[in-house]
Amino acid sequence: MKKLSLFLGAIFALVITGCETLNQTAQILTQSTGTPTQAEIAMGLKQALEYGTTYSADRLSEKNGFFGNAAIKILFPPEAQKAERALRSLGLNQLADNVILSINRAAEEAAREAKPIFISAIKQMTIADASNILLGRQSDAATQYFRRVTSEQLESKFRPVIQQSLGQVGATRYWNDAITRYNQIPLVSDINPDLSSYVTQMAISGLFHEIAQEELRIRQSISARNTSLLQKVFGYADRYQ
């Protein structure tokens, strides 16, 4: 009889424990799938954007962050692409390749300057901004917000870094050599695009491209929502659409 009582007691304890576990699980699910407050929406979106912008800036500032990414790799300026073709036709492939490699290295160096600018923009984001970004119809709404409020600062910060980096990595020398050789070809019109301005704009464009990809990933991929707050906020956005 004593053994039976102990056995029944153990079964009862397991049932109680199981119920408590189910209740805890239900609470967690409710917390992560319920309707978030406006403050939670703002906090969740800022959390996601801080991760996305930091990750994008860090990735692009690594070696081959631009050069190794076909979607954002910086090539000759459009008005100078005829010069590139002419140089390659003359067997000056190495010179043209050096130009491309060096301008991408300059962009990678400049990408290091982006994080504090984005973090500042995120901190200044209002609850209304966050709600409009999260619940709007555009899958790149956050990226558009950043483009609107940070482009001027990014250009101001990027341009001197790129100008300095172009010299350090040899881009200025390679570029001048390439343009000089091209302009010596008979019957061509002289060209000399503003290289630092071009690389600055392309670096900023590449950065926004990567941020848009990160924004889309967290909007579409549940596995990218690695906190209960992100699950709650973006789960609500999924149901809202």
Residues 14 and 58 in one domain: no
Residue by residue, what is the 3-state secondary structure of 184-225? CCCCCCCCCCCHHHHHHHHHHHHHHHHHHHHHHHHHHCHHHC
Residues 10 and 124 in one domain: no
Residues 28 and 69 in one domain: no
Residues 44 and 9 in one domain: no
Identify the pLDDT of residue 1: 52
Identify the pLDDT of residue 6: 42
Give CA–CA dist 239/217, Å, rounded.
Answer: 17
Give CA–CA dist 199/202, Å, rounded.
Answer: 5
pTM of structure: 0.79
Do 234 and 218 meet the contact criterion of CB atoms below 8 Å apart? Answer: yes
Give CA–CA dist 20/186, Å, rounded.
Answer: 85
Q: What's the number of domains the chain is made of?
A: 2
Task: Identify the domain containing residue 19 by its residue range.
Answer: 1-33
Residues 142 and 196 in one domain: yes
Identify the pLDDT of residue 190: 79
Do 152 and 86 meet the contact criterion of CB atoms below 8 Å apart? Answer: no
Return the structure tokens found at 228: 């209960």
Give CA–CA dist 74/165, Å, rounded.
Answer: 15
Residues 10 and 60 in one domain: no
Do 105 and 165 meet the contact criterion of CB atoms below 8 Å apart? Answer: yes
DSSP assignment letter at 91: T
Closest CA to 53 of 208, 159, 233, 201: 208
Identify the pLDDT of residue 19: 40
Identify the pLDDT of residue 23: 42
Identify the pLDDT of residue 126: 93
* pLDDT by position in tens, the chain (length 241): 544 444 434 444 433 444 443 344 334 334 455 788 999 999 999 999 999 999 999 999 999 999 999 999 999 998 889 889 999 999 999 999 999 999 999 999 999 999 999 999 999 999 999 999 988 888 899 999 999 999 999 999 999 999 898 888 888 888 988 888 888 888 778 777 788 999 999 999 999 999 999 999 989 988 888 889 989 999 888 887 6
Residues 173 and 196 in one domain: yes
Residues 27 and 82 in one domain: no
CA atoms within 13 A on the CB side of 190: 4
Residues 22 and 52 in one domain: no
Residues 63 and 26 in one domain: no
Residues 223 and 154 in one domain: yes
What are the φ and ψ backbone dihedral angles of 97, each rounded to 5 degrees? -65, -40
